């Protein structure tokens, strides 16, 4: 079989990259072509994404891919974070730089929205967890301010939709990213128009939903000429990065209403959830603040966000500012030498969101909760890692309750797979086997949807078969579950 090459444009809030995937019909070979930084910038009184620079970086990566792979490249697709957006005017003009979800415009908008539509009704319409950063509250903030942009808009495009439009000239709204907006009804598979009407939002800006695997056609002629990529098609993957990552979970079972496995997409955040064949929009789900987001092949990702390696990342940054250059491996080795399970903090505590000094914030939270204060570097890192594992275990117990059964296995994917100590902690804290890998799950899911989609549909079993054949998966069995069980019970008491 001829080797096919696809390109994944993977954009995150702190950086992006272009990754190639070479597929021989059985195995997938990855190569990072270009990596670049990303950050919001203050511009005109708002915090916005520098879309022009991002586009320049994307086209640079595509030119490098053309030089590396020549005429072998068959397609390109984009995945990004969720919730942020911009608009096209009726004449096809992009109206604004996308405003970053961290901009202050949404403060207080959730409470304001509840004056028009109750939380219960919003959740019934969208099945989504409540965060003020969600697209709905960004739109309501624009409405409240009398934004002329909202009045001039003809079509809303999420971030990956914008890049796909820049690549192909075709505007689209892909389901997995649309599902993060709190404007989408996961049960109908379309925008939540009755709720949008109640808010008085212009429903004509919400276009037809497309599925992962949709072919938008060839690159614009000017993009093909600029990059040297001829005959390359733009194929929409799961454009929300977590949707692509979950597609690369090497599970063997198909999606079902009663899965026996869950996933943890582990990086700066830990997204803990199950893949279902239908949404779970219940009062219990709303009470636990779980969310229903779109997945590949018509699936639903029922999940909850837990703060992940952010704690350790920010501790390392604080120590670097103090002149202590610890590597990741050194920090993990130090943590391994510290006494276990002395202190557990809530990694989602507001005091840990963006402290000036993360180690001191962890110590302060330990003191405030009457626990031993981790003074040494080793103790701080141990506390951070064990706290993340404990939070994942608690979230998994909640997920068991929502599904009405105990899930048997935990698949961990993403960059956190590299931390073997944390993977073992998750196995012990949850008292379940952990299957860790692949690390590059987001890029893999993006690439395989492009390479294996047929007529806009994707066979998840085939995608995951390639993942299992290609990438190493490491197993972690519970070793210290009884001590963890006792410690977690004491924490609840």
**Backbone phi and psi for residue 22, each to the nearest 5 degrees, phi listed first:** -100, 125
Q: Which residues pair with 254 in a beta bridge?
A: none
Q: Radius of gyration over alpha carbons of the chain, in Å?
A: 22
161 is catalytic: no
List, as one string, the DSSP characters of 144-186: HHT-HHHHH-SEEEEHHHHHHHHHHS---EEHHHHTTTT-EET
**Is there a contact between 376 and 227 (Cβ–Cβ < 8 Å)?**
no
Which residue, 312, 444, 437, 439, is CA-closest to 382?
A: 312
Nearest to 312 by CA among 325, 329, 330, 331: 331
* Residues 246 and 84: beta-carbon distance below 8 Å: no
Q: Which two tokens stand for residue 89?
A: 């005017």
Residue in the block written with tokens 């860790």 = 436
Is 454 in a helix, a strand, or coil? strand
Residue 351 and residue 272: Cα distance in Å, rounded?
A: 22
CA distance 315 to 321: 10
Cβ-based neighbour number of residue 187 at 10 Å: 15
What's 70's DSSP letter? G
- Backbone φ/ψ region at 33: left (φ over 0), alpha (ψ -120 to 50), beta: alpha
Give me 479's structure tokens: 């070793």
Query: Which residue out of 84, 161, 215, 241 is catalytically annotated?
Result: 241
Phi, psi of 489 (to 5 degrees): -65, -40
Q: How many CA atoms lie within 13 A of 436 on its CB side?
A: 21
Phi, psi angles (nearest 5°) of residue 351: -70, -15
Instruction: Please tell me whether the peptide bond between 438 and the residue prior to it is cis, using omega within 30 degrees of 0.
Output: yes
User: Which are the contacts of 196, defined by CB distance < 8 A and separation ≥ 6?
Assistant: 183, 203, 206
**Please, what is the Cα angle at 355 between 349 and 357, to 5 degrees?**
125
Name residues whose C-beta falls within 8 Å of residue 56's C-beta, 6 or more positions apart in sequence: none
C-alpha span between 204 and 188 (Å, rounded): 18
**Active site amino acids:** 241
């Amino acid at each position: 079989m001829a080797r096919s090459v696809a390109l994944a444009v993977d954009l995150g809030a702190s950086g992006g990259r272009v990754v190639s995937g070479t597929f021989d019909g059985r195995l997938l070979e990855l190569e990072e072509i270009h990596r670049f930084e990303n950050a919001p910038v203050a511009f005109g009184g708002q915090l916005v994404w520098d879309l022009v620079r991002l586009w320049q970086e994307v086209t640079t990566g595509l030119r490098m891919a053309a030089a590396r792979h020549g005429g072998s490249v068959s397609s390109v697709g984009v995945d990004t974070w969720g919730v942020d957006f911009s608009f096209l005017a009726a004449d096809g003009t992009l109206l604004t730089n996308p405003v970053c979800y961290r901009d202050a415009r949404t403060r207080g908008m959730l409470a304001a929205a509840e004056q028009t539509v109750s939380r219960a009704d919003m959740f019934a319409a969208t099945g989504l967890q409540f965060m003020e950063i969600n697209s709905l509250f960004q739109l309501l903030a624009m409405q409240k301010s009398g934004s002329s942009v909202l009045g001039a808009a003809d079509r809303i495009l999420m971030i990956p939709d914008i890049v796909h439009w820049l690549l192909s000239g075709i505007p689209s709204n892909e389901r997995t990213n649309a599902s993060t907006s709190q404007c989408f009804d996961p049960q109908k598979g379309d925008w939540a128009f009755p709720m949008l009407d109640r808010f008085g939002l212009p429903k004509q800006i919400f276009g037809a939903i497309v599925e992962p695997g949709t072919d938008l056609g060839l690159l614009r002629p000017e993009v093909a000429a600029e990059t040297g990529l001829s005959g390359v098609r733009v194929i929409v993957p799961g454009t929300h990065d977590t949707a692509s990552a979950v597609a690369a979970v090497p599970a063997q079972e198909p999606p079902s209403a009663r899965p026996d496995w869950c996933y943890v997409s582990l990086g700066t955040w830990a997204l803990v959830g199950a893949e279902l064949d239908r949404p779970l929009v219940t009062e219990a789900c709303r009470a636990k603040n779980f969310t229903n987001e779109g997945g590949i092949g018509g699936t639903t990702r029922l999940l909850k966000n837990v703060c992940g390696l952010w704690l350790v990342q920010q501790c390392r940054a604080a120590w670097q500012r103090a002149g202590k250059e610890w590597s990741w491996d050194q920090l993990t080795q130090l943590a391994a030498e510290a006494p276990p399970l002395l202190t557990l903090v809530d990694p989602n505590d507001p005091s840990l969101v963006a402290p000036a000094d993360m180690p001191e914030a962890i110590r302060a939270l330990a003191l405030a909760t009457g626990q031993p204060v981790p003074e040494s570097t080793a103790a701080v890192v141990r506390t951070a890692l064990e706290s993340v594992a404990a939070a994942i275990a608690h979230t998994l117990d909640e997920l068991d309750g929502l599904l009405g059964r105990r899930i048997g296995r935990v698949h961990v994917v993403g960059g956190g797979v590299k931390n073997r100590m944390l993977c073992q902690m998750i196995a012990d804290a949850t008292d379940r086997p952990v299957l860790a890998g692949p690390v590059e799950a987001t890029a893999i899911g993006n690439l395989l949807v492009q390479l294996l989609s047929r007529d806009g549909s994707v066979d998840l079993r085939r995608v995951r078969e390639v993942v299992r054949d290609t990438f190493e998966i490491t197993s972690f069995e519970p070793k210290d579950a009884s001590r963890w069980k006792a410690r977690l019970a004491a924490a609840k008491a």
